[in-house]
Protein backbone atom coordinates (compact mmCIF):
# COMPACT_ATOMS: atom_id res chain seq x y z
CA UNK A 1 0.00 0.00 0.00
CA UNK A 2 1.17 3.52 -0.69
CA UNK A 3 2.29 5.43 2.36
CA UNK A 4 -0.35 8.07 1.88
CA UNK A 5 -3.10 5.48 1.64
CA UNK A 6 -1.83 3.78 4.73
CA UNK A 7 -1.69 7.14 6.47
CA UNK A 8 -5.23 8.09 5.50
CA UNK A 9 -6.62 4.73 6.46
CA UNK A 10 -5.07 4.72 9.92
CA UNK A 11 -5.86 8.34 10.62
CA UNK A 12 -9.42 7.79 9.55
CA UNK A 13 -9.85 4.76 11.77
CA UNK A 14 -9.07 6.92 14.83
CA UNK A 15 -11.91 9.23 13.93
CA UNK A 16 -14.24 6.33 13.24
CA UNK A 17 -13.59 5.06 16.76
CA UNK A 18 -14.70 8.46 18.07
CA UNK A 19 -17.86 8.58 15.99
CA UNK A 20 -20.23 7.38 18.70
CA UNK A 21 -18.97 10.01 21.15
CA UNK A 22 -20.69 13.25 22.01
CA UNK A 23 -18.57 16.33 22.64
CA UNK A 24 -18.69 15.88 26.42
CA UNK A 25 -17.18 12.40 26.19
CA UNK A 26 -14.05 13.80 24.55
CA UNK A 27 -13.05 16.00 27.44
CA UNK A 28 -13.18 14.22 30.77
CA UNK A 29 -10.63 12.13 32.62
CA UNK A 30 -12.32 10.16 35.39
CA UNK A 31 -9.08 8.51 36.55
CA UNK A 32 -5.51 9.64 36.34
CA UNK A 33 -4.45 6.79 34.08
CA UNK A 34 -7.20 7.61 31.55
CA UNK A 35 -6.72 10.28 28.88
CA UNK A 36 -9.56 12.30 27.37
CA UNK A 37 -10.33 11.14 23.81
CA UNK A 38 -9.69 14.70 22.65
CA UNK A 39 -6.18 14.37 23.94
CA UNK A 40 -5.56 11.19 21.96
CA UNK A 41 -6.77 12.95 18.81
CA UNK A 42 -4.40 15.82 19.41
CA UNK A 43 -1.42 13.84 20.63
CA UNK A 44 -1.27 11.43 17.69
CA UNK A 45 -1.45 14.41 15.34
CA UNK A 46 1.24 16.28 17.23
CA UNK A 47 3.43 13.20 16.90
CA UNK A 48 3.38 13.48 13.09
CA UNK A 49 3.75 17.25 13.18
CA UNK A 50 6.65 17.16 15.57
CA UNK A 51 8.59 14.22 14.23
CA UNK A 52 7.97 14.61 10.52
CA UNK A 53 6.55 17.95 9.42
CA UNK A 54 8.71 20.11 11.67
CA UNK A 55 11.75 18.02 10.95
CA UNK A 56 11.58 17.31 7.24
CA UNK A 57 9.61 20.18 5.73
CA UNK A 58 11.73 23.26 5.72
CA UNK A 59 9.72 26.31 6.59
CA UNK A 60 6.87 24.35 8.10
CA UNK A 61 5.27 26.52 10.76
CA UNK A 62 3.88 24.87 13.85
CA UNK A 63 0.08 24.92 13.86
CA UNK A 64 -0.25 26.39 17.33
CA UNK A 65 2.52 27.33 19.70
CA UNK A 66 0.78 25.98 22.79
CA UNK A 67 0.04 22.55 21.34
CA UNK A 68 3.45 21.31 22.36
CA UNK A 69 2.36 21.93 25.90
CA UNK A 70 -1.06 20.32 25.50
CA UNK A 71 -0.15 17.32 23.39
CA UNK A 72 3.31 16.21 24.38
CA UNK A 73 2.81 13.05 26.40
CA UNK A 74 6.07 12.22 28.12
CA UNK A 75 8.94 13.36 25.90
CA UNK A 76 11.35 15.20 28.14
CA UNK A 77 13.37 16.06 25.06
CA UNK A 78 10.38 17.85 23.55
CA UNK A 79 9.76 20.29 26.37
CA UNK A 80 7.25 21.04 29.14
CA UNK A 81 3.76 19.60 29.02
CA UNK A 82 0.52 19.10 30.91
CA UNK A 83 1.12 16.44 33.51
CA UNK A 84 -0.71 13.19 32.80
CA UNK A 85 -3.29 13.45 35.62
CA UNK A 86 -4.26 16.99 34.52
CA UNK A 87 -5.23 16.21 30.94
CA UNK A 88 -8.91 16.44 31.79
CA UNK A 89 -8.60 19.95 33.20
CA UNK A 90 -8.71 21.77 29.86
CA UNK A 91 -11.78 22.54 27.80
CA UNK A 92 -9.74 24.26 25.11
CA UNK A 93 -8.50 23.52 22.52
CA UNK A 94 -12.02 22.36 21.71
CA UNK A 95 -12.86 19.11 19.95
CA UNK A 96 -13.46 21.13 16.82
CA UNK A 97 -10.08 22.85 17.21
CA UNK A 98 -8.41 19.49 17.49
CA UNK A 99 -10.20 18.14 14.46
CA UNK A 100 -9.09 21.21 12.53
CA UNK A 101 -5.57 20.52 13.74
CA UNK A 102 -5.84 16.97 12.49
CA UNK A 103 -7.04 18.22 9.13
CA UNK A 104 -4.20 20.70 8.89
CA UNK A 105 -1.55 18.13 9.67
CA UNK A 106 -3.18 15.56 7.41
CA UNK A 107 -3.10 17.95 4.48
CA UNK A 108 0.57 18.64 5.02
CA UNK A 109 1.35 14.99 5.50
CA UNK A 110 -0.53 14.14 2.35
CA UNK A 111 1.51 16.62 0.39
CA UNK A 112 4.69 15.38 1.97
CA UNK A 113 3.92 11.75 1.31
CA UNK A 114 3.10 12.41 -2.33
CA UNK A 115 6.81 12.55 -3.03
CA UNK A 116 9.65 10.22 -2.27
CA UNK A 117 10.67 10.49 1.39
CA UNK A 118 13.98 9.65 3.01
CA UNK A 119 14.63 6.41 4.82
CA UNK A 120 14.89 8.23 8.09
CA UNK A 121 11.53 9.86 7.48
CA UNK A 122 10.00 6.58 6.50
CA UNK A 123 11.09 4.98 9.75
CA UNK A 124 9.51 7.81 11.72
CA UNK A 125 6.45 7.63 9.51
CA UNK A 126 6.01 3.95 10.34
CA UNK A 127 6.48 4.70 13.99
CA UNK A 128 3.82 7.40 13.74
CA UNK A 129 1.41 4.95 12.18
CA UNK A 130 2.06 2.28 14.80
CA UNK A 131 1.86 4.91 17.47
CA UNK A 132 -1.56 6.03 16.28
CA UNK A 133 -2.69 2.42 16.25
CA UNK A 134 -1.58 2.00 19.82
CA UNK A 135 -3.65 5.01 20.70
CA UNK A 136 -6.64 3.49 18.93
CA UNK A 137 -6.56 0.72 21.47
CA UNK A 138 -6.00 3.18 24.30
CA UNK A 139 -8.95 5.20 23.03
CA UNK A 140 -11.24 2.21 23.32
CA UNK A 141 -9.89 1.44 26.79
CA UNK A 142 -10.38 5.03 27.90
CA UNK A 143 -13.82 5.37 26.32
CA UNK A 144 -14.84 2.19 28.09
CA UNK A 145 -13.60 3.56 31.39
CA UNK A 146 -15.35 6.90 30.84
CA UNK A 147 -18.62 5.12 30.10
CA UNK A 148 -18.24 2.28 32.58
CA UNK A 149 -17.56 4.71 35.41
CA UNK A 150 -20.88 6.42 34.75
CA UNK A 151 -23.77 4.87 36.70
CA UNK A 152 -26.01 5.33 33.65
CA UNK A 153 -23.72 2.98 31.69
CA UNK A 154 -23.95 4.62 28.27
CA UNK A 155 -23.81 2.38 25.23
CA UNK A 156 -20.89 2.94 22.90
CA UNK A 157 -22.02 0.51 20.25
CA UNK A 158 -25.07 -1.65 20.53
CA UNK A 159 -23.36 -4.31 18.49
CA UNK A 160 -23.50 -6.89 21.21
CA UNK A 161 -20.85 -9.06 19.63
CA UNK A 162 -18.30 -6.39 20.25
CA UNK A 163 -15.78 -7.34 22.92
CA UNK A 164 -17.33 -10.73 23.52
CA UNK A 165 -15.24 -13.74 22.75
CA UNK A 166 -16.73 -17.15 23.40
CA UNK A 167 -14.25 -19.85 24.17
CA UNK A 168 -15.45 -22.97 22.43
CA UNK A 169 -12.40 -25.13 22.42
CA UNK A 170 -11.60 -27.43 25.25
CA UNK A 171 -9.11 -26.23 27.77
CA UNK A 172 -6.24 -28.59 26.92
CA UNK A 173 -2.56 -28.07 27.59
CA UNK A 174 -0.07 -28.29 24.75
CA UNK A 175 3.35 -29.76 25.41
CA UNK A 176 6.26 -27.65 24.17
CA UNK A 177 9.77 -29.03 23.98
CA UNK A 178 12.61 -27.45 25.84
CA UNK A 179 15.59 -26.12 23.93
CA UNK A 180 17.21 -23.06 22.44
CA UNK A 181 14.81 -20.65 20.78
CA UNK A 182 15.12 -17.34 19.03
CA UNK A 183 13.15 -14.64 20.77
CA UNK A 184 12.37 -11.21 19.38
CA UNK A 185 11.86 -9.60 16.05
CA UNK A 186 14.09 -10.62 13.17
CA UNK A 187 12.43 -9.64 9.92
CA UNK A 188 12.62 -6.30 8.14
CA UNK A 189 9.03 -5.45 8.96
CA UNK A 190 8.32 -2.74 11.44
CA UNK A 191 8.71 -3.46 15.10
CA UNK A 192 9.31 -1.38 18.20
CA UNK A 193 12.80 -1.09 19.59
CA UNK A 194 11.82 -3.16 22.62
CA UNK A 195 11.27 -6.27 20.45
CA UNK A 196 14.88 -6.25 19.43
CA UNK A 197 17.44 -7.56 19.12
CA UNK A 198 16.39 -11.10 18.35
CA UNK A 199 18.41 -13.38 20.59
CA UNK A 200 18.78 -16.94 21.70
CA UNK A 201 17.16 -18.18 24.88
CA UNK A 202 16.99 -21.55 26.48
CA UNK A 203 13.57 -22.60 27.64
CA UNK A 204 12.82 -25.76 29.61
CA UNK A 205 9.96 -28.00 28.46
CA UNK A 206 6.56 -26.67 29.48
CA UNK A 207 2.84 -27.05 28.88
CA UNK A 208 0.54 -24.20 28.01
CA UNK A 209 -3.22 -23.99 27.65
CA UNK A 210 -4.78 -23.76 24.22
CA UNK A 211 -7.48 -21.50 25.55
CA UNK A 212 -7.92 -18.41 27.64
CA UNK A 213 -9.45 -18.57 31.10
CA UNK A 214 -13.22 -18.07 30.92
CA UNK A 215 -15.47 -16.01 33.12
CA UNK A 216 -16.85 -19.29 34.38
CA UNK A 217 -13.47 -20.47 35.63
CA UNK A 218 -12.76 -17.13 37.23
CA UNK A 219 -16.12 -17.12 38.96
CA UNK A 220 -15.16 -20.38 40.62
CA UNK A 221 -12.17 -18.56 42.06
CA UNK A 222 -14.38 -15.73 43.30
CA UNK A 223 -16.91 -18.12 44.78
CA UNK A 224 -14.21 -20.12 46.47
CA UNK A 225 -13.39 -16.92 48.37
CA UNK A 226 -10.34 -16.17 46.28
CA UNK A 227 -10.40 -12.44 47.02
CA UNK A 228 -10.46 -13.13 50.75
CA UNK A 229 -7.62 -15.63 50.99
CA UNK A 230 -4.12 -14.16 51.28
CA UNK A 231 -2.49 -17.44 50.30
CA UNK A 232 -3.03 -16.85 46.59
CA UNK A 233 -1.82 -13.28 46.48
CA UNK A 234 1.42 -11.43 46.09
CA UNK A 235 1.95 -9.19 49.09
CA UNK A 236 1.51 -6.02 47.04
CA UNK A 237 -1.54 -7.52 45.39
CA UNK A 238 -3.10 -8.29 48.73
CA UNK A 239 -2.55 -4.72 49.88
CA UNK A 240 -3.86 -3.34 46.59
CA UNK A 241 -7.02 -5.40 46.99
CA UNK A 242 -7.57 -4.25 50.58
CA UNK A 243 -6.90 -0.59 49.95
CA UNK A 244 -9.06 -0.42 46.85
CA UNK A 245 -11.71 -2.86 48.03
CA UNK A 246 -11.35 -4.99 44.93
CA UNK A 247 -13.48 -8.11 44.84
CA UNK A 248 -13.99 -8.77 41.14
CA UNK A 249 -12.58 -7.80 37.74
CA UNK A 250 -13.04 -4.19 36.66
CA UNK A 251 -16.54 -3.42 35.39
CA UNK A 252 -18.10 -6.33 37.27
CA UNK A 253 -20.75 -5.89 39.94
CA UNK A 254 -23.33 -8.12 41.50
CA UNK A 255 -26.83 -6.82 40.96
CA UNK A 256 -29.76 -8.68 42.49
CA UNK A 257 -27.64 -11.74 42.91
CA UNK A 258 -26.49 -11.80 39.30
CA UNK A 259 -22.99 -10.89 38.08
CA UNK A 260 -23.19 -8.07 35.57
CA UNK A 261 -20.36 -6.37 33.71
CA UNK A 262 -20.17 -3.23 31.72
CA UNK A 263 -19.33 -3.74 28.05
CA UNK A 264 -19.18 -1.20 25.26
CA UNK A 265 -22.62 -2.49 24.33
CA UNK A 266 -23.93 -1.57 27.79
CA UNK A 267 -24.20 -3.48 31.02
CA UNK A 268 -24.84 -7.19 30.43
CA UNK A 269 -24.95 -10.36 32.48
CA UNK A 270 -21.51 -11.93 32.62
CA UNK A 271 -21.44 -14.67 30.03
CA UNK A 272 -19.86 -17.80 31.41
CA UNK A 273 -18.32 -18.99 28.19
CA UNK A 274 -16.54 -15.79 27.35
CA UNK A 275 -12.90 -15.04 27.88
CA UNK A 276 -12.23 -13.28 31.18
CA UNK A 277 -11.23 -9.65 30.77
CA UNK A 278 -10.02 -6.65 32.77
CA UNK A 279 -7.99 -8.29 35.48
CA UNK A 280 -4.77 -6.96 36.95
CA UNK A 281 -1.53 -8.92 37.06
CA UNK A 282 -2.17 -9.41 40.78
CA UNK A 283 -5.48 -11.10 40.00
CA UNK A 284 -3.99 -13.14 37.16
CA UNK A 285 -1.19 -14.38 39.41
CA UNK A 286 -3.56 -15.13 42.28
CA UNK A 287 -5.90 -17.06 40.02
CA UNK A 288 -3.00 -19.09 38.64
CA UNK A 289 -1.81 -19.89 42.17
CA UNK A 290 -5.27 -20.99 43.19
CA UNK A 291 -5.44 -23.25 40.13
CA UNK A 292 -2.03 -24.67 41.05
CA UNK A 293 -0.80 -23.49 37.69
CA UNK A 294 1.27 -20.49 36.71
CA UNK A 295 1.44 -17.79 34.06
CA UNK A 296 3.79 -18.41 31.13
CA UNK A 297 6.92 -16.31 30.69
CA UNK A 298 6.91 -14.01 27.71
CA UNK A 299 9.45 -16.32 26.07
CA UNK A 300 7.31 -19.40 26.51
CA UNK A 301 4.39 -17.46 25.13
CA UNK A 302 6.29 -16.38 22.02
CA UNK A 303 7.54 -19.89 21.40
CA UNK A 304 4.14 -21.50 21.80
CA UNK A 305 1.94 -18.87 20.20
CA UNK A 306 1.85 -20.52 16.80
CA UNK A 307 0.06 -23.46 18.38
CA UNK A 308 -2.94 -21.67 19.82
CA UNK A 309 -5.37 -18.92 18.89
CA UNK A 310 -4.65 -15.54 20.35
CA UNK A 311 -5.66 -11.95 19.80
CA UNK A 312 -8.76 -11.28 21.86
CA UNK A 313 -7.03 -10.49 25.18
CA UNK A 314 -3.74 -9.23 26.08
CA UNK A 315 -2.27 -12.08 28.09
CA UNK A 316 -0.39 -11.38 31.33
CA UNK A 317 2.95 -13.15 31.42
CA UNK A 318 5.14 -13.75 34.45
CA UNK A 319 7.92 -11.69 32.85
CA UNK A 320 8.91 -8.27 34.08
CA UNK A 321 9.31 -5.68 31.36
CA UNK A 322 13.07 -5.50 30.83
CA UNK A 323 15.38 -4.83 27.91
CA UNK A 324 16.47 -7.71 25.71
CA UNK A 325 20.20 -8.41 25.77
CA UNK A 326 21.99 -5.66 23.85
CA UNK A 327 18.82 -3.59 23.60
CA UNK A 328 19.42 -0.18 22.04
CA UNK A 329 16.74 2.49 22.24
CA UNK A 330 16.10 4.52 19.09
CA UNK A 331 18.17 7.62 18.53
CA UNK A 332 16.54 10.97 19.17
CA UNK A 333 13.27 11.75 20.91
CA UNK A 334 11.75 8.38 20.05
CA UNK A 335 14.42 6.84 22.24
CA UNK A 336 12.03 7.77 25.02
CA UNK A 337 9.32 5.59 23.49
CA UNK A 338 9.95 2.34 25.33
CA UNK A 339 13.22 1.99 27.17
CA UNK A 340 12.60 4.44 29.95
CA UNK A 341 9.57 2.46 31.14
CA UNK A 342 11.50 -0.75 31.75
CA UNK A 343 10.98 -1.06 35.48
CA UNK A 344 8.07 -2.08 37.71
CA UNK A 345 5.88 -3.24 34.85
CA UNK A 346 4.86 -6.68 33.60
CA UNK A 347 4.77 -7.88 30.01
CA UNK A 348 1.53 -8.82 28.26
CA UNK A 349 1.65 -10.71 25.02
CA UNK A 350 -0.77 -11.15 22.15
CA UNK A 351 -3.34 -8.53 21.25
CA UNK A 352 -6.96 -7.80 22.07
CA UNK A 353 -10.27 -7.26 20.36
CA UNK A 354 -9.45 -3.54 20.73
CA UNK A 355 -6.16 -3.84 18.86
CA UNK A 356 -6.22 -2.73 15.22
CA UNK A 357 -6.16 -5.87 13.07
CA UNK A 358 -2.85 -5.11 11.37
CA UNK A 359 -1.19 -4.14 14.63
CA UNK A 360 -0.51 -7.66 15.89
CA UNK A 361 2.81 -9.44 15.98
CA UNK A 362 3.94 -12.52 17.76
CA UNK A 363 6.94 -10.57 19.08
CA UNK A 364 4.88 -7.61 20.34
CA UNK A 365 5.55 -6.66 23.95
CA UNK A 366 2.84 -4.75 25.72
CA UNK A 367 3.36 -3.71 29.34
CA UNK A 368 1.38 -2.34 32.26
CA UNK A 369 1.86 -1.81 35.95
CA UNK A 370 0.69 -4.88 37.83
CA UNK A 371 -2.36 -3.19 39.36
CA UNK A 372 -3.89 -1.93 36.11
CA UNK A 373 -7.17 -3.48 35.03
CA UNK A 374 -8.55 -1.26 32.33
CA UNK A 375 -6.70 -2.84 29.41
CA UNK A 376 -8.33 -5.85 27.71
CA UNK A 377 -6.26 -8.31 29.71
CA UNK A 378 -6.84 -12.02 30.13
CA UNK A 379 -5.15 -15.15 31.43
CA UNK A 380 -3.61 -18.15 29.75
CA UNK A 381 -2.23 -20.74 32.15
CA UNK A 382 0.96 -22.73 31.88
CA UNK A 383 2.55 -25.44 33.96
Binding segment toward a copy of itself, per CB under 8 A, in 184-192, 219-227, 270-278, 342-350: 342-350
Select 90 or 173, whichever has its Cβ closest to a copy of itself: 90
Select 128 or 296, whichever has its Cβ closest to a copy of itself: 296
Binding mask 252-291 for a copy of itself (x = CB under 8 A): -----------------------------xx--x------
Nearest approach, Cβ of 153 to a copy of itself (angstroms)?
Answer: 9
Q: How far apart are CA 378 and CA 276, in angstroms?
A: 6
Select 56 or 90, whichever has its Cβ closest to a copy of itself: 90
Contact pick of 72, 318, 334, 377 for a copy of itself (by CB under 8 A): 318
Select 7 or 39, whichever has its Cβ closest to a copy of itself: 39
Contact pick of 56, 149, 162, 308 for a copy of itself (by CB under 8 A): 149
Q: Does 343 bind a copy of itself (CB under 8 A)?
A: yes
Q: How far apart are CA 9 and CA 4, in angstroms?
A: 8
Binding segment toward a copy of itself, per CB under 8 A, in 156-164, 197-205, 220-228, 249-257: 197-205
Select 88 or 226, whichever has its Cβ closest to a copy of itself: 88
Q: Does 158 bind a copy of itself (CB under 8 A)?
A: no
Q: How far apart are CA 170 and CA 308, in angstroms?
A: 12
Instruction: Find out whether 312 and 212 touch, Cβ atoms under 8 Å.
Output: yes
- What DSSP character marks residue 53? I
Binding segment toward a copy of itself, per CB under 8 A, in 88-96, 106-114, 163-171, 265-273: 88-96
> What DSSP element (H or E) covers 366?
strand 366-368
Cβ neighbours around 301 below 10 Å, total: 25
Q: Does 346 bind a copy of itself (CB under 8 A)?
A: yes
Select 59 or 80, whichever has its Cβ closest to a copy of itself: 80
Q: How far apart are CA 120 and CA 126, in angstroms?
A: 10
Instruction: Find out whether 276 and 379 touch, Cβ atoms under 8 Å.
Output: yes
The pairing of strands 346-350 and 314-320 is antiparallel
Q: Does 362 bind a copy of itself (CB under 8 A)?
A: no
Q: How far apart are CA 142 and CA 139, in angstroms?
A: 5
Q: How far apart are CA 181 and CA 201, in angstroms?
A: 5
**Which residues, in sequence order, are CB contacts of 112 under 8 Å at separation 6+?**
52, 53, 56, 57
Instruction: Find out whether 183 and 324 touch, Cβ atoms under 8 Å.
Output: yes
Q: Does 69 bind a copy of itself (CB under 8 A)?
A: yes
Contact pick of 91, 116, 245, 255 for a copy of itself (by CB under 8 A): 91
Instruction: Find out whether 70 and 82 touch, Cβ atoms under 8 Å.
Output: yes
Nearest approach, Cβ of 66 to a copy of itself (angstroms)?
Answer: 6
Q: Which of residues 12-41 bind a copy of itself (CB under 8 A)?
A: 22-31, 38
Applying CB under 8 A, the site for a copy of itself has a residue count of 62
Binding segment toward a copy of itself, per CB under 8 A, in 1-9, 246-254, 261-269, 318-326: 318-326
The pairing of strands 346-350 and 199-203 is unpaired
Q: Does 180 bind a copy of itself (CB under 8 A)?
A: yes
User: How far is C-alpha 361 from the geometric centre of its chain's CA atoms?
Assistant: 13
Q: Which of residues 107-146 bind a copy of itself (CB under 8 A)?
A: 146
Q: How far apart are CA 150 and CA 68, in angstroms?
A: 31
Instruction: Find out whether 102 and 132 touch, Cβ atoms under 8 Å.
Output: no
Q: Does 238 bind a copy of itself (CB under 8 A)?
A: yes
Of residues 125, 91, 131, the one with CA closest to residue 108: 125
Select 45 or 319, whichever has its Cβ closest to a copy of itself: 319
Contact pick of 235, 243, 258, 331 for a copy of itself (by CB under 8 A): 235
Q: How far apart are CA 293 and CA 284, in angstroms?
A: 11
Q: How far apart are CA 71 and CA 106, in angstroms?
A: 16
Q: Which residues bind a copy of itself (CB under 8 A)?
A: 22-31, 38, 66, 69, 74, 76-77, 86, 88-95, 146, 149-152, 154, 180, 199-202, 204, 230-231, 233-238, 281-282, 285, 318-320, 322-323, 325-326, 340-344, 346, 370
Amino acid sequence: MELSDRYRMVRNRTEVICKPLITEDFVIQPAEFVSPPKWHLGHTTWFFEKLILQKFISGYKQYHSSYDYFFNSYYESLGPRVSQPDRGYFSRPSVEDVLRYRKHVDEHMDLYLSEQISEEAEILFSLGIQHEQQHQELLLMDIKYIFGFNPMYPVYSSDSAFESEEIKEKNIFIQIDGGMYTIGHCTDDFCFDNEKPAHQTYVAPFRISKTLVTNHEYLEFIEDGGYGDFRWWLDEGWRWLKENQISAPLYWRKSDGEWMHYTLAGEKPVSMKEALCHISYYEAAAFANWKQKRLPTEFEWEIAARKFEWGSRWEWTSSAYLPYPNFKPNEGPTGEYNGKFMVNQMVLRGASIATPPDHRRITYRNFFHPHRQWQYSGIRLAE
